[in-house]
Each structure stands twice: as structure tokens, then as C-alpha cells.
Chains A and B, each alone.
Chain A
């Protein structure tokens, strides 16, 4: 076996260095645990204990748009119809041809009658938002580190550090980001970070009348989200891009993108 050869020196190196600098290792470990202990003392909320995620059941969505409306009010998103942190899309699948998608004012004012010449096979609503990807392209492209994955699994934007270069808006395959017209920084869904860290639900989940949206945590068996994942056949959007999204859709087949 050829590969064995280079392995031995590396192991030797590690072993000798471990012997030579045990003091340093111990000191570093002590330092880091000391730090986390301090953090725990200062606040009862420990981000490491959480990994937030959301489930969306397309079969239940009635397209009332209350989520998009509440989101704008809760997060003071500009009211113009091009700025959304979450919005509802209507899919119209004709018997033949491509699916058509529309979202007039994010669904907040309801949806007009379908004006389709072709015969319609079916139609349904899909709520959309930031997917809080574990492998987020927006985080990768940010040149200054103004968008990042927090320790509790939420992708956030640092408003006072963002330079407004729009790379992240370009990079997001889900179109979940927009440039704030007055602050001139990128903005998007935070899972209502200011609410969830206080144990409240995101505003869109709070107002959803049909339990289409389910909020919870991955890895906590008693979380409503885990029940959702256990009992439903779920998909993520654009799984092929390997972004590892954390918004799970039930009832989304290949047509939903």
C-alpha cells in the first residue's frame, strides 16, 4: 500500500508535538471552557442548544397572505411590492407545458382570478422565505463577513457592517434577499430572530391560520418540527444545488422551485 508511507511521519509528528506542548494544549482548553462558562452565567439563552428550522405544508396553505402581511409589520419591511422577507406564490400547472407562478404583492391582497387560456391540471400555493441554508451561498460570497450563520443555525445580516454590494442577493438561488431601499443594506428573513430567542414564534407562524407553517428545532425530538419531519414526506427546494436548506416542504414535487 502506497498511501501508508506518508502517514507515518504525520502521525509521528503529531505524537511528538503533543508530547512537547501538552502545557499549551491544557492552557488553551482551560481558556476556552472558561469562556463558555462565563457566557452561560451571563445569560440563560445558549445559542449552542438550538438549531432552528421550519416546515411548510403546501397542502394546507390557503393563500391568505397573512404571513407576508405580518412579516412586513413585525420586521418593518418597506411596503412597496418588491420587498419581501416572506411571500406566497401561486402555482398554476397546465395540462401541457410549464408551470406558471405569480405572487401579486406577495399575496397580501389576495390573488386575482386565474387567466389561463390552456386547460389547468391543478393549482396551489407555496409560501416562500429564506431557507437558512447550512451551506449558504450568500454567506460564502459576502466579501466583508456581514452575512453569516449564527450559532443557533440562523443566517443573519449585520446591518451596520454590510456595504450593500448586492453579491449575496445575486448568489441566493431562492431570491430571498432584497436591498433595503433606505438603509442600503441587504435584508432578509431572520426567522424573527428577536422573537425566537425569547421563546416566541416567528410572526408568520403565529398568524398562520391552518398550521401550514411549523416552526421548531432540528435535533429536539419533542419539537413540533421533528413531528412534522417524522410524519410527512418532505423535500427541500433546489436540493441539487447542495445548499442544505432548513425550510422543509411537504407536498412539494418537482414543479416547486
Chain B
């Protein structure tokens, strides 16, 4: 094929097209970042950039290098699951230059209740207190070591260990009925609950002292015939004693 055979108007067009393609390729070269598409439809260098951000939280292993005494005490305590920095705040700068930066400590009464303040949405059994009622006016540290918060003495409130039952009863018709009305509790049950057992009611008379027709108890308490009501079953086969209901 001779060059002269090509229609004349095509030649400038070809040149224009060629220039446009060159311009496009050049623009693409300039606009698309170098590492784009290396591993996928993204800029591979971005991964490095994200990975190179500064660290603020050093992690408990680092604290262990210099504060092994405290770490050791804490690992044996109720607070074993807690990171140092959850209370002291991010402390990487302190770990790298202890003389220049000192982390603070939450000494006020406001901080511990973030975890220990009573909140009904918390899981059952998590130790909680009502900050307004629990030894107000004193810093928590006067009685509890934040690194090993063993209780100063065994709690005597039944609710400290039987929280679910206590809070169920609290909102029930039996809210005014003390635990000891139905349970005889030896004193050592508090310090050694598994060896020293509390007693559970065994017969109808426990309930009868309030609910029997002739019982000597406040008038508002509903009465039943203690001999016939419920047939041969125990009362707590039908009514949960910590939350009794009189509907089917």
C-alpha cells in the first residue's frame, strides 16, 4: 500500500488521534499514582501510610518493663483483666521518656463508677455500687487499692452475692419481705458460703405465717386457705417466692 493511496484528509486526523492518545497516556501516567493497582484497585502505598500512624497506647507488656511490681499485684487481683492505660490514659510517650511525661491517675470519685456505677443494663453479677449511697464524700482509694481492689471485709448484704435474686425481689410483691423471713442464714455463710449453707423453706407454714386465712399479718396481704389452696403441691411449685404472681 502506498502512502499516496491514503485519502489526504485521513493523515491530519491520524496525527490528531495519535496526539490525543499520547496526551491521554501521559495524563494517565501523571494522574494515576505509581503504586495504584499493584495488589488491587487501590494505591498500594496507602497501606504503608496507614500502618505508619503513631501509637498512643503502649500496652501492658511495656508497663511491665519498669512497673513489674504493680503489674504483678494487679494480675492476682480482681482487676487482672484491666489494662493499665484504661485508668492512666495513653502512656506510650511516658514509656518512651518517663522523665518527660507522667501519666495522670483518676483519683476522683467520678471515674470508677464508669464501670462500677449501678446500671440495670449491665450483666448480672458485675460488682456495682450506687455512687451516691456508697460511702459518699470519700475517694474510692481510701478503702480500695485500685491495683488490687479486694473488699475491706466480706459483704454482709445478701445482694452483694445474690444480686439477681435481690433485684428480682426488689420489683416484686415481696419487696418488703426480708430474705431472713424465709431463710435462716448462719453468720459464717458470708465468709464461707459453700461450706456453711443458708436454709431454704421446706413446708407451707413459711408462707402461711402471712398468707393463711387466720395469720397475724397486715390486712393488705392476700389470704388463701393454707390447707386446700394449691392442692398437694408446694407453694413454690407454682409461685416463684422471689417474685410471686397470682395470675395464670
Contacts and interface: CB of A to CB of B under 8 A. Distances in A.
Interface in B148-200: none
A207 B119 contact: no
A211 interface: yes
A150 B49 CA distance: 12
A242 interface: no
B117 interface: yes
A184 interface: no
B53 interface: yes
**A125, A150, A157, most chain B CB atoms within 10 A:** A150
A183 to B, nearest CB: 13
B27 interface: no
Interface residues of B, number: 38
A74 B47 contact: no
A146 interface: yes
Interface stretch (A16-24, A194-202, A231-239): A194-202
B36 interface: yes
A155 B82 CA distance: 28
B123 A110 contact: no
Interface in A205-221: 206-207, 209-211
A124 B119 CA distance: 10
Contacts of A200: 55, 59
13 contacts: A59-B123, A64-B115, A70-B85, A124-B121, A151-B39, A151-B47, A158-B42, A161-B42, A190-B50, A193-B50, A194-B50, A200-B55, A200-B59
Given A70-B57, A209-B82, 12 more contacts: A62-B123, A65-B114, A66-B86, A70-B90, A74-B90, A123-B120, A125-B121, A161-B42, A194-B50, A194-B54, A203-B57, A209-B79
Interface of A: 47, 59-66, 70, 73-75, 90-92, 110-111, 114, 123-125, 145-151, 156-161, 190, 193-195, 197-198, 200-201, 203, 206-207, 209-211
